[in-house]
Chain A
Amino acid sequence: MSILVIADHNNQTLNGATLNVVAAAQKIGGDITVLVAGSGAQAVADAAAKVAGVSKVLLADNAAYANQLAENVAGLVADIAKGGYKYVLAASTTTGKNLLPRVAALLDVSMITDIISVESANTFKRPIYAGNAIATVQSDEAIIVGTVRGTAFDAVAAEGGSAAVEAVAEANDAGISKFVSEEIVKLDRPELTAARIVVSGGRGVGSGENYHKVLDPLADKLGAAQGASRAAVDAGFVPNDFQVGQTGKIVAPDLYMAIGISGAIQHLAGMKDSKVIVAINKDEEAPINSVADYWLVGDLNTVVPELVSKL
């Protein structure tokens, strides 16, 4: 059985989420091919070729794929998939979620979002209702298309493989969409979904200024990534890509510190698989306490600086 994994990348580096998808592909078992569709993406293909467990890398290098426009990439992926692949997998990133349903529809097959476990060759588990239920689904489709939740699979090694890189000539420009601009938030901290420790703030931090004043020193001290609840994002404290939750990013770090976060269902869905959860909140009844391993009731403006000084 052959598995096509769509690489998540920015034309220069391979996103670590792809390593989790390869891990899921190994659980299914079969020959793993990684497709790198991009522009000037040779370095990404070279990186993909070194990933443990990958037997072949396809590089579709064309201006049409430069910004991962789903309209252009989906046609390419569908054509390659029709050439004999049984599975098409991608990471549950915004890129994967934008692309794969379009691929599935072109192949006229149903798709599985957010696979968290491989039960057998055609049976998978996925969370529904904001993670309040886990569904086991069986696909009877000829080609199984799915996105993989990275935090549910341990990444394979980025080094050790020696796959051959083959060029794909197909240049598929659907001509119905155009990239205009991009605004990427520059961060000096670890990437949120890959971090070992996450420090997250909610509405309780009060303002954007206070978010940074209180949480930055803690994140610095712990070498942690920073996250936020939807309430903090909606209030404009931090950009939306900080959002942890059902409709934001899903994280599962070793330590998740929820500060000034009440713990709405939608937030819990994004972090309740963390190994250790700490809640710091002035409300003794906050729902976050029901999932926290340790919770401290107090004013975050005094507790957090005290914590920083004692670490």
Chain B
Amino acid sequence: MKALVAVKRVVDANVKVRVKPDNSGVDLTNVKMSINPFCEIAVEEAVRLKEKGTVTEIVVVSVGTKDAQEQLRSAMALGADRGILVETADEVGALEVAKILKGVVDAEKPELILLGKQAIDDDSNQVGQMLGALLGAGQGTFASEVKVDGGKVQVTREIDGGLQTVELGLPAIITTDLRLNEPRYAALPNIMKARKKPLDTKSPADFGVTTGTKLKTIKVEAPAERKAGVQVKSVDELVEKLKNEAKVI
């Protein structure tokens, strides 16, 4: 069974981003970039399925600038077999990414398609679901457990009240939640080997997709600052403040 994993290059999760003074976006110059943490979990899950013998080949795909090659190489160092970069310097919305991924799926014909549940930059949580609609495939979103059994896959999903398990036919789309697995670290020999793995470059036009989005970002601002708080020295002082100053209890 072939697995396709989509990965996104995003600002590293530990970086505190700053909004540009002209409010056009956040400042990403000289900021550390990484694989989106949810995408890393998706790669790890595919690798584990390969180690179990369920998956035979893992293809990683990324849509973005040339620099996204780095993240594809990282995914290959974790165990993916080859990479596809759909290169574009333009802004691409979630719908357009889903359309490009549909093109990749049509060409590659994977049976499992794994994505992160959301990217930590735009926080959209949309691409997997949109791809499901475009392909007419089932979706197991926010997955914390995946079991592939014959022609079906059972996905345990994290929902607001607890957990829900659904069964999907193949091809199926799975978007990963944090608790699905603990991604491994890439060992140096694997990083070296990953450099030699095949990496194809495509363009959105190869899949007949026009980049851009009908969702224009007009302005990006810093959130309102909270006013500085005070340290209280004792429980009595805390109770007094909550009762008389904040009046919340």
A residues neighboring B (CB under 8 Å):
10, 67, 69-71, 74, 93-95, 97-106, 108-114, 123, 127-141, 174, 176-185, 197, 222, 230, 233-234, 239-241, 246-247, 249, 254-255, 265-266, 272, 275-278, 289, 291-297, 303, 306-307, 310-311
Among the listed A114, A123, A239, which residue makes an inter-chain contact with B162, where contact means beta carbons less than 8 Å apart? Answer: A239
Which B-chain residue is minimally distant from A304 (CB atoms)?
A: B235
Which stretch, B45-53, B76-84, B130-138, touches the partner chain A?
B130-138
A133 in complex: contacting residue of B19, B95, B158, B214, CB < 8 Å: B19
| Cα-based distance from A123 to B223 in the complex (angstroms) | 18
Contact B122 A137 (CB under 8 A): no
- Are B120 and A113 closer than 8 Å at their CB atoms? no
B230 touches A105 (CB 8 A): no
Query: With contacts A139-B215, A293-B229 known, is A255 near B158, CB below 8 A?
Result: no
> Is A254's CB under 8 angstroms from B159's CB?
no
Q: Are A176 and B242 in contact (CB under 8 A)?
A: no
Q: Map CB proximity to A onto B86-105 as digits: 1 under 8 Å, 0 otherwise.
A: 00000001110010000000
Chain B residues lying within 8 Å of A95, measured Cβ to Cβ, are 159-160
A296 touching B238 in the complex, CB below 8 Å, given contacts A94-B158, A240-B158, A255-B248: yes
Chain B residues whose CB sits within 8 angstroms of the CB of A109 once the complex forms: 95, 214
* Chain B residue total in the interface (Cβ 8 A): 80
Cβ of B191 under 8 Å from chain A: no
Would A139 and B214 count as touching, CB distance under 8 A? yes
Which A residues touch B138, using CB under 8 A?
71, 174, 176-177
Q: Which residue of A lies closest to B141 (CB)?
A: A98
Question: Bound complex: CA of A294 vs CA of B228, how far in Å?
Answer: 9
Complex interface: chain B residues within 8 A of A114 (CB): 123
Give min CB distance, B236 to chain A, whole Å: 7
Q: Is B95 within 8 A of A134, CB to CB?
A: no
Rounded to whole angstroms, the CA-CA distance of A255 and B245 in the bound complex is 13
The answer to whether B168 touches A276, judged by C-beta atoms less than 8 angstroms apart, is no
Query: In the docked arrangement, what's the CA distance between A106 and B129, Å?
Result: 10
Are A136 and B219 within 8 A (Cβ)? yes
What chain B residues lie within 8 Å of A97 (beta carbons)? 125, 129, 141
The minimal Cβ–Cβ distance linking B211 to chain A, given in whole angstroms, is 13
Question: Which chain B residues lie closer than 8 Å to A292 at the CB level?
Answer: 229
B187, CB-defined interface residue at 8 Å: no
Rank and list the top 6 A-B pairs by shortest CB-CB distance, nearest first: A101-B129, A105-B133, A105-B130, A101-B126, A177-B138, A180-B165
Within 8 A of A (CB), among B177-217: 177-179, 213-217
Binds A, one of B1-9, B10-18, B59-67, B106-114: B10-18
Q: Does B117 contact A (CB under 8 A)?
A: yes
Known: A179-B165, A180-B166, A275-B248. 10 other contacts (CB 8 A): A97-B141, A105-B134, A109-B214, A110-B215, A132-B17, A141-B214, A233-B179, A240-B144, A255-B248, A265-B13
